[in-house]
Structure 1
Amino acid sequence: MKKDRKVVLDTETTGMNFTGCFYENHRIIEIGAVEIINNHITGNNFHSYIFPERSIDKNAFKIHGISSNFLSCKPKFSEIIVPFLTYLDNSDLIIHNAKFDIGFINYELSMLKLNVKNISENCNIIDTLSMARKIFPGKKNTLDSLCTRYKIDITNRTIHSAIYDAKLLAKVYIFMTNFQKSLPIFDNNVFENYLSKKAYSKHARSKILLATEHESISHKNYLKYMMNISGKCIWLTE
């Protein structure tokens, strides 16, 4: 069977530039990536903190809690680029709000002045934010909102973390892609097989409660009673 390899990716940065390109003059400080093969999370992850060679904005620090002092002994982007690009090779990239992360990665690549194409030219980019807006139009589609919607535990997500958020997004993506498939409701055998797939959450299965014999008898007696008092003909089925 052909291996369907996808990489779920997230980054944390020193901040954002709100005048022009949001990535210009800011740097990536953490990359987290999670591998999915044939719709299963493999555990083969890529994770690295990065020394950005500049300070971190106060507002950015409030979001991810990563300090300049912590990063002072971490590798530069140029030192992790080879293993990073090797990890991404032969995969689709899954990113929430892809424009943000792809912009930062391409900016980092441009500063290295290497003969490396933009990430979007090397990888097929799948933006889960765009997907979510089509599946849940008019609703809030942040990562937190999607996790809550799919009953994915986010109690430990007190601050942003590239690797932790990539792990959450990997679970979200599996739910999103399974839910997009049409349900074969007219074929019970196929439907049962669909529900039995591991990727389909137990939370998505609806429990069907059938009426007891006593409840069925009570219901029929009620219909007979209503027929008598209304004078209308009500057909009863056995």
Structure 2
Amino acid sequence: MRQIVLDTETTGLDPKSGHRIIEIGCVELINRKLTGRHYHQYINPEREVDDGAIEVHGITNEFLVDKPVFSQVVDEFMTFCDGAELVIHNAPFDVGFIDAELKRLGSPRWQSVAAHCGVLDTLALAREKHPGQKNNLDALCKRYFVDNSQRDLHGALLDAEILADVYLMMTGGQTDLALAGTDTSGDDDADNETQEAGSIRRLSAQRAPLSVVRASAEELQAHEEFLAELEKAGGKHFW
């Protein structure tokens, strides 16, 4: 299964008011493992960025002046995502902006996100798993022990990378975030020691056997005396 964890930064909050995408960040998962492939692009929105938005992501109008416009990057971006399931935190926001950009272009090839990709909203998933709790990305990082110490400002690629870790932890079945097909330990036997959670993990035959510590006669006697006192007091036990 191919999934693309995606995030965007924008000039403001509402594409219906003419706000545009200024950054896209994506990371690829195949069969729930990071592949190392990613897509990252800053975009000239052809309009001013709101001051409130700059406070969130730190991307200024001056920085975006020489960046390509969306029409120049759409083919590369959509080809990267085509056929995958998009994993997005608060998906209606990002999908709404992408669809607005595609509609503005009027491309016969790329009509909408739904025409080319599935979408999984991790915010909706988090609210289902943790009702009544904070479920923004920072709160989920704290809950699932994902390091977000570099997240002083929002950034599309960094947030996509963090969301990938959160998504894998939140949905279970993946605790090793090493790249798919890559032995990052330098140990040829690493695959025998670290496997996807939920699969069978077999111990090496060369490992020392576990020691068995048995109760002493004094400890057994003390245990019997305790149970006798418990029965006198009307208590029940299963020992």
Same fold (TM over 0.5): yes
Q: Is the 8 A contact 2:103 2:111 kept in 1?
A: no
5 Å-filtered alignment, 1:150-169, equals 150-169=144-163
Aligned to 1:148: 142
Aligned CA distance change for structure 1 residues 178 and 235 (closer, same or farther; 3 Å): closer
Q: Deviations over 1:21-45 (max 9, x none)?
A: x543100000000000111101100
Matched residue SS, 2:169: helix
Segment of structure 1 superposing worse, 76-85 or 170-179? 170-179
Q: Is the 8 A contact 2:6 2:87 kept in 1?
A: yes
Aligned CA distance change for structure 1 residues 236 and 124 (closer, same or farther; 3 Å): closer
Q: Is the 8 A contact 1:23 1:103 kept in 2?
A: no
Task: Output the TM-score relative to the length of structure 2.
Answer: 0.77
What is the CA distance between 1:199 and its match in structure 2?
5.4
Aligned to 1:186: none
Aligned to 2:6: 9
Q: Is the 8 A contact 2:10 2:22 kept in 1?
A: yes
What is the CA distance between 1:235 and its match in structure 2?
7.1
Matched residue SS, 1:111: helix
Instruction: Tell me how far apart the structure 2 counterparts of residues 166 and 122 of structure 1 sit (CA, whole Å).
Output: 20
What is the CA distance between 1:148 and its match in structure 2?
1.1
Percent identity between matched residues is 41
Aligned CA distance change for structure 1 residues 161 and 230 (closer, same or farther; 3 Å): same
Q: Which has the higher helix share?
A: 1
What is the CA distance between 1:118 and its match in structure 2?
1.0
Task: Output the TM-score relative to the length of structure 1.
Answer: 0.77
Aligned to 2:225: 224
Aligned CA distance change for structure 1 residues 229 and 95 (closer, same or farther; 3 Å): closer
Aligned CA distance change for structure 1 residues 220 and 30 (closer, same or farther; 3 Å): farther
Q: Which runs of 5+ in 1 are unaligned?
A: 181-194, 201-210
- What residue identity is the alignment partner of 2:167? Y
Q: Deviations over 1:105-151 (max 9, x none)?
A: 01111111211221122211110111111111221111111111111
Q: Deviations over 1:48-67 (max 9, x none)?
A: 00001111111100100000
Work out the number of aligned pairs and report it: 207
